[in-house]
Amino acid sequence: MPDRFTVSIDTVLFDLDGTLVDTAPDMGYALNALLREYEREPLAAAAIRPYVSHGARGLIFLGFGEEPEGERFEEYRSRFLALYEKRICADSRLFEGMNGVIDYLDERKMPWGIVTNKPHYLTQALLEELNLHHRVASVVSGDTVAERKPHPAPLLHACRQLQRAPEVCVYIGDAQRDIEAGTRAGMATLVALFGYLNELDKPLEWGPTGLLERPADIIDWVA
């Protein structure tokens, strides 16, 4: 069993890609479609998966070695997002066991929300495809407020929407910026080890409250 939180948690906030939803198949499909358009070799799913949490920026770097400052980055990014939007939920699914977690929270009337760096139009489209849009109590996307994670502003915005103090919230993510944002916001934080971490990631060094081997472990933490 996990250690107890130092305060009672009554609100759960999730990162989206690699934490709540396994979007790697569709994000990877879009990247490989883009690579083919530019007559480049597609990449194996296993090579793409660790980069998915870093969004278009990480995937463009993986496929083309192009940083945001590069002269062709916006060209690649724009086309990638167009390809992804057309096939946003062909194979994306809640991680195994996550639906049970959401049911648990809903049954106990514990509000839950999503804080992601994904643009709003893509976030909304994905949630509608997964039939989650009517269940989630708060959605903060990458363009909802001026700052993005690892800045704490998106998480604090979610707190205001939910009328909750940060101290009674836990933020769950699979990237260092998630844990940094949650910590800076004054929340408990949990690392989703089932997400898109790579061999260089050292989640214990990020300073989280705890680690999750599987989605069902969330229930043990908030029970």
Q: Which residues are catalytic?
A: 15
| Distance from C-alpha of 134 to C-alpha of 118, rounded to nearest angstrom | 19
In one letter, which amino acid is 174? D
Reduce the DSSP state of residue 25 to 3 states and report it. helix
* 45: Cβ contacts below 8 Å, ≥ 6 apart: 24, 25, 28
| Dihedral (CA of 22, 26, 32, 37) sign | negative
| Distance from C-alpha of 159 to C-alpha of 174, rounded to nearest angstrom | 20
> Do 208 and 221 meet the contact criterion of CB atoms below 8 Å apart?
no
The DSSP secondary structure of 67-103, one letter per residue, reads -TTSTTHHHHHHHHHHHHHHTTTSS-EEPTTHHHHHH
| Distance from C-alpha of 126 to C-alpha of 130, rounded to nearest angstrom | 6
| Backbone φ and ψ of 52, nearest 5° | -65, -35
Host H or E run for residue 165: none
Chain centroid, CA 207 distance in Å? 18
